[in-house]
Homo-oligomer: A and B are copies of this chain.
């Protein structure tokens, strides 16, 4: 059994690699909910949906989020009514179907874990997809002016193009871990931290009571993949956030940030020269090609991640997502 701590796009790619080398049912994805929001009355869980859409092959390959072949009638109507101030967070028509379902089920009293499992099953996923908590967690960013931004305002509306002074995970301190989160972390053969933003994607997961205690205890079984390659984030603001919050935008900066909870960090070949600095942080460095630009590369990275501790689970070859050549 493998547990994977997940943000959105980077984690979805990592999971897409892992399902090529271990049976999907052996994987539990424990997902960040700090990005979640209620917009126009709809309960929106960007990271959960990105993983569901990606693993089911329905994701829009150009954006990495949302559905492929999407239409935008609702957004067009909303924009005519309220202007672009209401439509900066783009919700496609089919994607809205997901949010309608989730919002309706939550209103009926279902937990986010239950709804997430229902949606994942309807999309044909066989892994366990679980939110880190059923209680609301909201990532809030504070600017030097003291102004506070909800995560999606920061990330989407302002395209993370502002200086951040601090980050907090509202609700996390009193959030209960999801039904199987602690149990899975304790019993998994391996815990993988996906190459997601350490601050705003992995941070909220670590902030849920009980999570870091298990990781500290099992530190040798925890392997992370650096989302920073050559000093820059492959996607999003991880690089500048690490710097703004007093860390460093480098593979060794990631190692120092995650050191209390990881025994191994997979860093990119581009950063091979930083391996000794990673080791100085008390973290074993494994050098590999980490940029998952194709399903084959994602599979290769998954092999590396699993092999970094001796492969748990039953490796299997799958040609379903393999590219020719």
Which residues of A are at the interface with B, using a C-beta cutoff of 8 A? 38-43, 70-71, 73-82, 86, 91-101, 103-105, 107, 118-119, 122
B94 touches A74 (CB 8 A): yes
A98 touches B77 (CB 8 A): yes
Q: Which 6 A-B pairs have the closest CB atoms?
A: A77-B97, A41-B103, A73-B93, A40-B100, A78-B97, A40-B104
Known: A73-B73, A122-B80, A122-B81. A40 touches B94 (CB 8 A): no
Determine which of B41, B76, B100, B119 lies in contact with A74 in the assembled complex, contact meaning CB atoms within 8 Å. Answer: B100
Known: A41-B41, A41-B104, A103-B40. A97 touches B122 (CB 8 A): no
A sample of 30 cross-chain residue pairs with beta-carbon separation below 8 angstroms, ordered by A number, consists of A40-B101, A40-B107, A41-B43, A41-B100, A41-B103, A41-B104, A41-B107, A42-B100, A42-B103, A71-B93, A73-B73, A73-B93, A73-B96, A73-B97, A74-B94, A74-B100, A75-B97, A76-B97, A78-B97, A78-B101, A79-B97, A80-B97, A81-B97, A81-B98, A81-B119, A81-B122, A82-B104, A82-B105, A93-B93, A93-B96
Query: A290 vs B99: C-alpha distance in the bound complex, in angstroms?
Result: 44
Query: A92 vs B92: C-alpha distance in the bound complex, in angstroms?
Result: 13
| Identity of the chain B residue whose Cβ is nearest the Cβ of A73 in the assembled complex | B93
List, in ascending order, chain B residues with CB within 8 A of A104's CB: 39-41, 82, 86
A122 to chain B, nearest CB (A): 5
B101 touches A73 (CB 8 A): no
Query: A71 vs B71: C-alpha distance in the bound complex, in angstroms?
Result: 9
B82 touches A101 (CB 8 A): yes
List, in ascending order, chain B residues with CB within 8 A of A76's CB: 94, 97
List, in ascending order, chain B residues with CB within 8 A of A75's CB: 97
| Identity of the chain B residue whose Cβ is nearest the Cβ of A92 in the assembled complex | B73
A316 to chain B, nearest CB (A): 29
List, in ascending order, chain B residues with CB within 8 A of A96's CB: 73-74, 77, 93, 96
A128 to chain B, nearest CB (A): 18
Known: A73-B73, A74-B100, A96-B96. A81 touches B118 (CB 8 A): yes
Query: A41 vs B42: C-alpha distance in the bound complex, in angstroms?
Result: 6
Query: A11 vs B40: C-alpha distance in the bound complex, in angstroms?
Result: 29
A72 to chain B, nearest CB (A): 9
| Identity of the chain B residue whose Cβ is nearest the Cβ of A106 in the assembled complex | B41
Query: A91 vs B93: C-alpha distance in the bound complex, in angstroms?
Result: 11
Seed contacts A41-B41, A70-B73, A73-B96; 18 additional CB < 8 Å A-B pairs? A38-B107, A41-B99, A41-B103, A41-B104, A41-B107, A42-B100, A73-B93, A74-B74, A74-B97, A76-B94, A77-B95, A78-B101, A80-B122, A81-B97, A81-B101, A81-B118, A82-B105, A91-B100
